[in-house]
Structure 1
Amino acid sequence: MNKRTFGISLILACMLQNSAVATQRNQVANQIKPAAGTLWTEPKTGMQFVWVPDGCFNMGSNEGEKEERPAHKVCLKGFWMGRYEVTQAQYQQLMRKNPSVFGGTTRLDGHWGEQRLPAEFVQPLDSRNHPVEWVSFDDAEHFARKMGGIAKIKIDLPSEAQWEYACRAGGAHKNYCGQTDGKPDRLAWYEGNSGKNPYEQAGQRTYKMVSHHPVGQLNPNNWGLYDMSGNVAELTQDCFHETYQGAPADGSAWKGGDCRLRVTRGGYWGYSDEGVRAAGRATGGLEYSTGFRVIRSYP
């Protein structure tokens, strides 16, 4: 083989190698995304996530409250969402504390208007698998950043649009975050099934009301997400706006408006069935009814 032939062969070999590398990169870049509802466990923390695929849906409700209007189309990229609300055990593991009122260290005083825990509320015997609560927006973000640092991935709170899209399973669920023929008793802990059982005793109407419940006890939605309706209200990244006029159409968090108030979704165990609807919106922070779940961006 002469020098010229050798040089040509070397160039061709390099071209083939570069082509193979480029093909491999394209295969990685264009790899098929998981199917909706695919389960993934983050290995360092053991937290389970569910794949929420790319898609579009109608967010809000023109038949609901003022803050739920107008209904509008939103298109999102896929992401991983926590299968469950963050539990007290998970929060304790990462943050080395459990601030929860029900099962944790927070003790309330004063009267009902000052968030005192009434005597008719019952403390859980074992709260490790209950959702963490009495966490502020900053507390929840701190947890997400810390988990992301440990796992070497980006962990966030969901945007409001991401939350509702996941709740509705892309549009499969109209009223609540799961299939229901009427009241959401099979998929949501709410006022109707959370232990608030009025009865007559000595001529007085009394009741006992339990707190939130262990995660994952009721039915999930079509994508395998649990407790999206009820149990605890879930913090999102979005600042509160009185309506959806001007809301982002790409699923990103809406950061204008009143950022002292963060939007919570899903309602909590003391709400009526109206309060745990998929379109329902509220604001929340440091309350015994408010918790959160986290997301991971693809991949």
Structure 2
Amino acid sequence: MRWLFLLLALTFPARAADCPDCPEMVAIPSGLGRLGDDAAPFTVRVAAFALARTETSVGQWKACVAGGGCAAKAGLRWPEDAMPMTNVTFADAQAFAAWLSRRTGQHYRLPSEAEWEYAARASSQSMFPWGGSMEEGMAVCQHCDPRFDRRPAPVGTMAANAWGLADMNGNVWEWTSDCWFPSHQDRPRDAIARIEPGCPKRTVKGGSWYYVPYQSRSASRVGEDARAFGYDIGFRVARD
């Protein structure tokens, strides 16, 4: 399956950045997406949107700080510009999206959980977008690639999925806009975020360098305190 995954990844949807410091955005087509593990998938209808090709980088965060939209973060474990930005709370991620919106006149935001998983799968039906098991060189997770066994990789290092999105599986967990619900049961059949006022936890997706391969599957999800931050939680932005 890996050869087919890499072949499909050669033809990416249109992508562009709205400003020199803005993330490169990939056009995601509308369609039906599946949420959850293979044993009990939940189908949703997803409208077209755009998603950042990579996780937000340290360099992009620095541009937001310089522009007055984000707070400087001391003590980053990996402060190089090409590394994924970590140590960010849910509110920090929202602040970055708001800064991009002001700068570009476009509506940036965090993706919903449904949008995130739909984009991560990129029309695949398997545990990972390339197949049913982890393969070296495809994701950054615990014992997945000897180059990055105890640290994340620079954004965009690993092979992109069939829609041109890098590191959806592994590297760092990514904030979504959804409040945390233990299951998909009773959720709406569209991809709009599930939000309750004042919810204490938000959903993070995709696994990270710190966790085992199973946590990097496309369906992986965890509820995280919205005030939490750490060296394995980052984010990427969506745009309407």
Same fold (TM over 0.5): yes
Counterpart selection for 1:145 from 73, 98, 102: 98
Name the aligned partner's letter for residue 101 of structure 1.
Answer: L
Name the aligned partner's letter for residue 77 of structure 1.
Answer: A
Alpha-carbon distance in structure 2 between the residues aligned to 1:254 and 1:36:
29
Counterpart selection for 1:61 from 12, 19, 37: 37
Alpha-carbon distance in structure 2 between the residues aligned to 1:103 and 1:242:
32
Alpha-carbon distance in structure 2 between the residues aligned to 1:100 and 1:144:
22
The alpha carbon displacement at 1:293 in A equals 0.0
> Secondary structure of 1:259's partner?
coil
Alpha-carbon distance in structure 1 between the residues aligned to 2:18 and 2:221:
30
Residues 175 and 99 of structure 1: CA distance in aligned 2, closer, same or farther (over 3 Å) = farther
The alignment's C-alpha RMSD in Å is 2.2
Question: 1:1-299 counterparts in 2 under 5 A?
Answer: 37-63=13-39, 70-96=40-66, 97-99=72-74, 101-104=76-79, 127-169=80-122, 171-176=123-128, 178-180=129-131, 182-193=133-144, 195=146, 210-256=150-196, 259-284=199-224, 285-297=228-240
TM-score by length of 2: 0.85
Deviations 1:131-189 (A, max 9, x none): 000100000001100111001110000000000000001x325212x314632322210
The alpha carbon displacement at 1:79 in A equals 0.5
> Secondary structure of 2:160's partner?
coil
Name the aligned partner's letter for residue 229 of structure 1.
Answer: N
The alpha carbon displacement at 1:101 in A equals 3.0
The alpha carbon displacement at 1:100 in A equals 6.0
Alpha-carbon distance in structure 1 between the residues aligned to 2:74 and 2:171:
17
Name the aligned partner's letter for residue 209 of structure 2.
Answer: W
Larger RCO (CA within 8 A; separation ≥ 6): 2
Residues 81 and 140 of structure 1: CA distance in aligned 2, closer, same or farther (over 3 Å) = same
Deviations 1:195-236 (A, max 9, x none): 599xxxxxxxxxxx5321101111110000000000000000
Deviations 1:24-45 (A, max 9, x none): xxxxxxxxxxx96211221253
Q: Which has the larger radius of gyration?
A: 1
Q: Do the aligned residues in 2 keep the contact of 1:191 with 1:271 (CA within 8 Å)?
A: yes
> Secondary structure of 1:56's partner?
strand
Residues 173 and 42 of structure 1: CA distance in aligned 2, closer, same or farther (over 3 Å) = farther
TM-score by length of 1: 0.69
Residues 60 and 136 of structure 1: CA distance in aligned 2, closer, same or farther (over 3 Å) = same
Alpha-carbon distance in structure 2 between the residues aligned to 1:159 and 1:146:
19
Aligned residues: 222
Deviations 1:35-69 (A, max 9, x none): 96211221253420111001002211253xxxxxx
Q: Do the aligned residues in 1 keep the contact of 2:30 with 2:47 (CA within 8 Å)?
A: yes
Q: Do the aligned residues in 2 keep the contact of 1:56 with 1:74 (CA within 8 Å)?
A: yes
Alpha-carbon distance in structure 1 between the residues aligned to 2:203 and 2:74:
21
After TM superposition, the structure 1 stretch with the greater mean CA deviation from structure 2, 93-102 or 151-160, is 93-102
Deviations 1:3-36 (A, max 9, x none): xxxxxxxxxxxxxxxxxxxxxxxxxxxxxxxx96
Q: Do the aligned residues in 1 keep the contact of 2:137 with 2:145 (CA within 8 Å)?
A: no
Name the aligned partner's letter for residue 190 of structure 2.
Answer: D
Q: Do the aligned residues in 2 keep the contact of 1:263 with 1:283 (CA within 8 Å)?
A: yes
Any unmatched runs of 5+ in structure 1?
1-34, 64-69, 105-126, 198-208
Residues 99 and 73 of structure 1: CA distance in aligned 2, closer, same or farther (over 3 Å) = farther
